[in-house]
Structure 1
Amino acid sequence: MAKIKPQALLLQSKKKKGPSRMSVTTLVIYGLIIVVMVFFLFTTYRHWTRRSKFQMEDISSGEDNPFGDSKKVDVPKYAVINTSKGSITVELFKEGSPEVVDEFIELCQKGRLKGMLFNRVIKNFVIQGGDVNRPGTTEDWTSRGKHYNQLDKSLKHEAFMLGTSKGKHDGKGFDLFITTAPIPDLNEKINVFGRVIKGEDVVQEIEEADTDEHYQPKTPIGIIEVTLRQKV
C-alpha cells in the first residue's frame, strides 16, 4: 500500500470544510427562547411567593377562628354608634340573635340609621331611637308578636343592653332600645341583640335630657353615624 506523503495530507486537510457557523437569525431565536423561559420561571416564583404570603396573613388574621370559616370572620362583632352626645360602643350578640344582628348590620351598611333621633327618653327605663310617627313604635311595641325565633333566652334586659322591638320591620322603622336599668319584664317584648361596652356615660347623659310630657327630648338628640368593626 502506497504511503501518503505529508504534503498530500496537508492538502487534504485544507480541503476539508470547517464547522458550520450558526446564522444570526438562529442566535436571535435561541436568545428569545431563553428570555421567555427565564421570565416564565420568575413569574411562577413570584406568584407562589405572593400566594404563600397571603395564606399566612389569612391564618394570622383568623387566630380566633382556626377552622377558617370566612363567614364568621367577616361578620362585624362591634358597632360604634356616634351620637350628638358622644360615641357608644356596643358588642353584637350574633349567636344569640342572628336575624336581628343581620338586619341591624344591613341597615348600618346602607346608612339607614344616620339621623335617627332618640324620640323617647324615660329615666331609669330606656332610651329609644326610631320613627316616632310610625304606627306601633311607641304605643304598641310592647304587644308585638314574637318574630325572631332564634332569640337566646339567657339574654336578660339588664342595664345598658341593646335591643329592638319584636316583629317584622321590613327594613323600615327599625327602632333601638338601650336600657338604663335592669328590666327583666321586657324579655318577652324586646329582642336583645347587644350590650354597651363603652360609652355608658353617654347613655346616661342622654337619659338625663330634658323631655316633654311625651318623653320626647326638648333638644333633638340623634345618631350621626354607625361604624361596624371586627375589633375595638
Structure 2
Amino acid sequence: MGTIRAVLFPSIAPRAVENFVTHAQDGYYDGVTFHRVVKDFVIQGGDPTGTGMGGESIWGDPFADEFSDALHNYTGALSMANSGENTNGSQFFIVATPADSVSAKLGGQMEEAGWRSEVISAYQQAGGVPYLDHKHTVFGQVYSGMDVVEKIAGVDVEGENDKPKKDVVINSVTISTYDEAAASSAAG
C-alpha cells in the first residue's frame, strides 16, 4: 500500500531495536501480514503465522520491556506488541489514532494523574494512546508514510481479532541510516 519510514531509538530501547533490526535484516518480516487492524487505534504485524499468536525474538525467548519517559505511544509510534509484562517477541504495532484522539478531558485526567505537561501537550497535538505507555515498549516513530498507516488502518476487517478481510502484506523491511534532512523534507 506504500512505504512507511520510521526512526528507531537504540539508545533508549536497545533490545527492542536490535530484535527488530536483526529480524528485518534476516528477512523475517518479508511477506508477513498486518494481522490485526483496528481503525483509529493500531495496525499490528510481525507474526509469521499471521494469527497474532506466533513469532519469537531473535534470542528465542521473550525479552524484557524497555520503558522510558522519553518515548510515548503518540500517533505513529512503533511499539512492541506483547501478551503481558516482559513478553516481547517479534510482533509490533504502529499507533494509528487521529491527531485529535486525546481530548481536553483526557488531558485533564492525565494532569490529575501526574503526567508531565510537555507529554500531555504532545499527546494533545499529535494524538496517541496514553494508556499503552509503560505497557508496550516504544522503539521507533514514523516520520514518513502516515498516510499509508491510515490507509492500512481503514481496511475492512472481520472477526473478534480484527483480521483484514484481504491480506495486507509487508513486502520487506529495510534498515538504513536515518538522515534528518531527508526526514524533514519527507515529513513535509
Instruction: Please give the range of the TM-score, normalised by the shorter of the 2 chains.
Output: 0.5 to 0.7
Consecutive unaligned residues of structure 2, counting only runs of 5 or more, are 56-61, 98-127, 180-188
1:160 pairs with one of 76, 80, 83: 76
**Are the aligned partners of 2:77 and 2:140 in contact in 1 as well (CA < 8 Å)?**
yes
Any idea what SS the aligned residue of 1:204 has? helix
Residue 217 in 1 paired to residue 164 in 2?
yes
Task: Say what the alpha-carbon RMSD is for the aligned residues.
Answer: 2.1
Identity of aligned residues (%): 33
- Deviation string for 1:13-57 (max 9, x for gaps)? xxxxxxxxxxxxxxxxxxxxxxxxxxxxxxxxxxxxxxxxxxxxx
Question: As a proportion of its length, which structure holds more helix?
Answer: 1
Aligned residue for 1:133?
51
Residue 197 in 1 paired to residue 143 in 2?
yes
**Are the aligned partners of 2:8 and 2:139 in contact in 1 as well (CA < 8 Å)?**
yes
Aligned residue for 2:31?
115
Any idea what SS the aligned residue of 1:118 has? strand
Give distance in 2, aligned partners of 1:183 and 1:93: 19
Q: 1:99 to 1:207 in 2, by over 3 A?
A: same
- Deviation string for 1:73-115 (max 9, x for gaps)? xxxxxxxxxxxx1100000011110111011111111110101
- Aligned residue pairs total 137
**Are the aligned partners of 1:165 and 1:189 in contact in 2 as well (CA < 8 Å)?**
no
Any idea what SS the aligned residue of 2:15 has? helix
Q: 1:102 to 1:111 in 2, by over 3 A?
A: same
Consecutive unaligned residues of structure 1, counting only runs of 5 or more, are 1-84, 138-144
Give distance in 2, aligned partners of 1:91 and 1:109: 16
- Deviation string for 1:141-170 (max 9, x for gaps)? xxxx9813x43222111101101135355x
Aligned residue for 1:89?
5
2:64 pairs with one of 129, 140, 147: 147
Normalization by structure 2: what TM-score? Answer: 0.66
Residue 206 in 1 paired to residue 124 in 2?
no
